[in-house]
């Protein structure tokens, strides 16, 4: 089994356990009573590169990154620095996240919030909406075509935006066929955990011009933001660089300024 296979298996076991305590009909009622999701695609279609900052305690590749005793406070610092959205890891086993983190962040910020997890079921999409998420991550490598289509449809029907993540040319083709409006190109191979910073530049030209393209993994500084912007990125997703920095707001502000300077480049 690959690393991705293990993560998906663990996430599946965990959501099935949660479903036992909160049946889907109850979860649906909670989700439908939630404030409507915020639009992101139109907001990120302008010239500036949007910066999505991550609440992430740990990862399979690096282990523990930060304790983050108060995810709401960290998210507020990201927002103060100008983050366009907050990504919250809710995977419990390797990333040490939780849905409680997602709910806390949602209460603390007004910017869009992304549930980042290994989503393979409709139940998890309903969970995301019930917790106030505006976006959910759908990893093409983790889903068969029928699953991907169904989860994308449900996400859209609930008013959320799917960040459809790809890693190679074949996955890019599947995301394009899906009609995804927001496509993430992850430089980290989820089967080996290796990062190849050339991935975005190789894959982005294969994606629809109309889609907002998000560069994921390997974004460390302003120079990295400029590089992916030149290759067509409309947004970047940054994790390690912001959770390990001494001043989260200042780190984010520097990345946001780099995104502004890169504004106007061809996408």
Q: Is 63 exposed, middle or buried (0-12, 13-18, 19+ CB in 10 A)?
A: exposed
Q: Strand pairing partners for 64?
A: 58
pLDDT score at 266 = 43
- 13 part of the active site: no
**What pLDDT is recorded for position 104?**
98
> Is the Cα dihedral 234, 220, 174, 180 positive or negative?
negative
Give pLDDT, residue 267. 43
216 is catalytic: yes
β-pairing, 58-59 vs 63-64, is antiparallel
The catalytic residue among 186, 189, 213, 240 is: 186
Output the pLDDT for position 124. Answer: 98
Q: What is the CA radius of gyration of the chain?
A: 17
* Catalytic-labelled residue, pool 116, 171, 189, 213: 116
213 is catalytic: no
Quote the pLDDT of residue 192: 84
| Residue 180 CB coordination number (10 Å) | 25
Between CA 126 and CA 267 the distance in angstroms is 32
**Rounded to whole angstroms, how far apart are CA atoms 175 and 17?**
30
Catalytic residue among 77, 127, 181, 216: 216
45 is catalytic: no
| CATH code for the part of the protein at 3-34+43-262 | 3.20.20.70
Query: Which residues in the chain come in under a pLDDT of 50?
Result: 265-267
């Amino acid at each position: 089994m690959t690393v991705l296979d293990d993560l998906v298996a663990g996430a599946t076991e965990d959501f099935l356990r949660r479903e036992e305590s909160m049946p889907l009909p109850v979860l649906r009622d909670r989700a439908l009573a939630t404030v409507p999701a915020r639009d992101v695609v139109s907001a990120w279609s302008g010239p500036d590169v949007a910066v999505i900052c991550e609440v992430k305690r740990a990862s399979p590749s690096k282990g523990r990154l930060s304790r983050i005793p108060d995810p709401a406070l960290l998210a507020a610092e990201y927002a103060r620095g100008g983050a366009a959205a907050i990504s919250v890891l809710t995977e419990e086993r390797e990333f040490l996240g939780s849905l409680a983190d997602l709910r806390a962040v949602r209460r603390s910020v007004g910017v869009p919030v992304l549930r980042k997890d290994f989503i393979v079921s409709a139940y998890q999409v309903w969970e995301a909406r019930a917790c106030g998420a505006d976006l959910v991550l759908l990893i093409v490598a983790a889903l068969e075509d029928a699953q991907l289509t169904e989860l994308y449809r449900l996400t859209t029907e609930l008013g959320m935006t799917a960040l459809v993540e790809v890693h190679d040319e074949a996955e890019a083709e599947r995301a394009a066929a899906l009609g995804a409006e927001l496509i993430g190109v992850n430089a980290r191979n989820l089967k080996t955990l290796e990062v190849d910073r050339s991935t975005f530049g190789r894959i982005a030209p294969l994606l629809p011009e109309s889609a907002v393209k998000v560069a994921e993994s390997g974004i460390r500084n302003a120079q990295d933001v400029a590089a992916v912007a030149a290759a067509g990125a409309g947004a970047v997703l940054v994790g390690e660089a912001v959770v390990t920095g001494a001043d989260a707001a200042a780190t984010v502000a520097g990345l946001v300024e780099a995104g502004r300077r890169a504004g106007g480049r061809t996408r």
